[in-house]
Amino acid sequence: MNKASRLFWPTLVTPKNAVVKQTEQLSRSQKLLTELGLVKPGSNGTYQIMPIAQRAIDKCIQLVQSNMQAAGGQKISLPVLTPAQLWKKTGRLEGDISEFYMLRDRSGKQFLMSPTHEEAVTAMLASTAPISYRQLPLRLYQIGPKFRDELKSRFGLMRAKEFLMKDMYSFDVSAEEAAQSYATVTAAYERFFRQLEVPFVQVEAATGMMGGSQSHEYHFISPVGEDTLLQCSNCSYAGNVEVFGSDTDAPSACPKCQSSQLSRVRGVEVAHTFLLGDKYSKPLGATFLNTTGKPETLIMGCFGIGITRVVAAALEVLSTEQELRWPKLLAPYDVCVIGPKAGSKEQAPAERIEHELLQLTQICGAEQLLHDERKELTIGKRLLDAKRLGHPLTIVVGAKATQAEAPKLELHTSGGEKQELDVAQVLQLVDSHERHKQQLLEGTEQTDTKRSQRVGHVH
């Protein structure tokens, strides 16, 4: 199991009477993650992930992967460096490239530190031995770092210059088959976001520099969001104002039902999907052999999820100003156990119960249990840390645990009230928490036909 005394957890300590000069606007998640020592700023727009936060990111990666594999995805890894020549062939170097990191090798050849990999994956398929129609659809995904020279990197992991992303690329024989791939993958996206239990909205979006015929974004609603979204309360429509060119061009009535019940909210974009057609496959010569053995151009889609942004944005939506609140499936630890302070009168009898509780590993697994055995600290100090870190369940073995009759433990749930329970009741609640997590995970096995087709529906 995990011990709190062994955790690398460089909490930010501010002297009592210090005057802190705020040089940038901080979001709630950024402030808490930094103060609690879960994320440390690197250079401008880059961040160092500490062990506790890394656990949450790893859980997010595992959850994304299970959904991508359920959607027929196969995992690959592509180089971070993409030859600029490929981007010239598709015309993407002709527009505004100020957000791209460009570099040259010693021979003068130019590369991009890839913000996305459409050209790279398409060129890979173009250089592969002829692909048969029997091998399609092909859905390839990777999870790795992406780079964007943000003019205003802010809100920590929500808008950084280096970030972790899952990007999937689909290849099909026709526009109709590509649309089916699009439906399958977006269904997997909806399952993933439902599993997080964070309210989200899927909105119609502009295709922008990515191109293609159709695009949707997934947003968490938050005041710090940089996108303005339109939502109709009369029907299911939701869209990004970018679809209409700009905020000032956006309609006052719903484009779908013409209702005036159209509201504006701010959203944090956490995922984006595109039907690309042949925008990349045609100029790069990516083909397959059809039923008659003749080459035809592959039809593509692409699908991105910002892994680090999802974690930070979920915390932004769920947390309070003082305490983190994690989606159940992303919490670094499920249970934290706090025993008595060293030298206290209840130490000896309470430690026996504390030892019993460590058998919780049989319910939640050793990796999900954190034992805060820093007994030089008071229970109150350790409980404050546990609450701020947002552990879903914190069990305190205090003075009432040593009562001769009906010994009681304190159970603190994230965002809930303190309960005084006996050991059996505590074990039952831990078991209930684990069963709820399992039910959420089993959502990955739902069939695509169960998906709501209402684009823009708030979940």
Same domain flag for 158 and 307: yes
Residues 154 and 69 in one domain: yes
Other Cβ atoms closer than 10 A to 97: 15
Q: Please give the helix or strand (H or E) that residue 337 lies within, else none.
A: strand 335-338
Residue 38, in any domain of the structure = no
Radius of gyration over every alpha carbon of the chain, rounded to an integer in angstroms? 25
The CATH number linked to 394 is 3.40.50.800
pLDDT at 309 over 90: yes
Same domain flag for 270 and 199 = yes
Inside any domain, residue 47: no
Is residue 304 in some structural domain? yes
Q: How far apart are CA 42 and CA 48, in angstroms?
A: 6
Same domain, yes or no: 232 and 95: yes
Assess whether 396 and 311 both reside in one domain: no
Residue 31 belongs to a domain: no
Residue 159 has φ and ψ, to the nearest 5°, of: -145, 85
Domain containing residue 359:
335-440
> Does residue 455 register a pLDDT over 60?
no
Instruction: Report the pLDDT value the prediction gives residue 22, as an integer from 0 to 100.
Output: 61
Phi, psi dihedrals of residue 191, rounded to the nearest 5°: -60, -45
- The chain-wide mean pLDDT, for the chain, equals 90
> In this structure, is residue 447 part of a structural domain?
no
CB 64 within 8 A of CB 307: yes
Q: Sorting pLDDT into bands at 50, 70 and 90, what band is 448?
A: very low
194 lies in the same domain as 268: yes
How many structural domains is the chain composed of? 2
| Residue range 320-337: mean pLDDT, rounded | 97
Closest of 75, 125, 105 to residue 298, by C-alpha: 125
Which residue is associated with the tokens 């994230």? 414
Output the DSSP codes for 53-117: HHHHHHHHHHHHHHHHHHTT-EE----SEEEHHHHHHHTTTSS--TTSEEEE-TT--EEEE-S--
Indicate if 153 and 282 belong to the same structural domain.
Answer: yes
Measured between alpha carbons, how far is 376 from 373 in angstroms, rounded to an integer?
Answer: 9
On whether both 251 and 358 belong to a single domain, the answer is no
Q: Which tokens in the block code for residue 395? A: 């069990």
Is 136 within a domain?
A: yes
pLDDT in tens, 185-237: 999 999 999 999 999 999 998 877 677 778 999 999 999 888 999 999 898 88
Q: From CA 230, how far away is CA 253, in angstroms rounded?
A: 10
The pLDDT score that the predictor gives to residue 154 is 77
Mean pLDDT value across residues 398-413:
88
Based on the fold, state whether residues 218 and 186 are members of the same structural domain.
yes
Quote the CA–CA distance of 135 and 216 in Å, as a whole number. Answer: 27
CA atoms within 13 A on the CB side of 230: 28
CA distance 373 to 242: 52
What was the pLDDT predicted at 452?
Answer: 35
- For residue 449, is it within any domain? no
3-state secondary structure of 350: helix
Mean pLDDT of 255-265: 91
Q: Answer yes or no: are the C-beta atoms of 18 and 385 closer than 8 Å.
A: no
CB 431 within 8 A of CB 383: no
Read off the CATH number of the domain in which 164 is found: 3.30.930.10
Q: Same domain for 246 and 346? A: no
How many residues are given for the chain?
Answer: 459
The pLDDT score that the predictor gives to residue 454 is 33
pLDDT digits (tens, 9 = 90+) for 153-172: 778 888 899 999 999 999 99
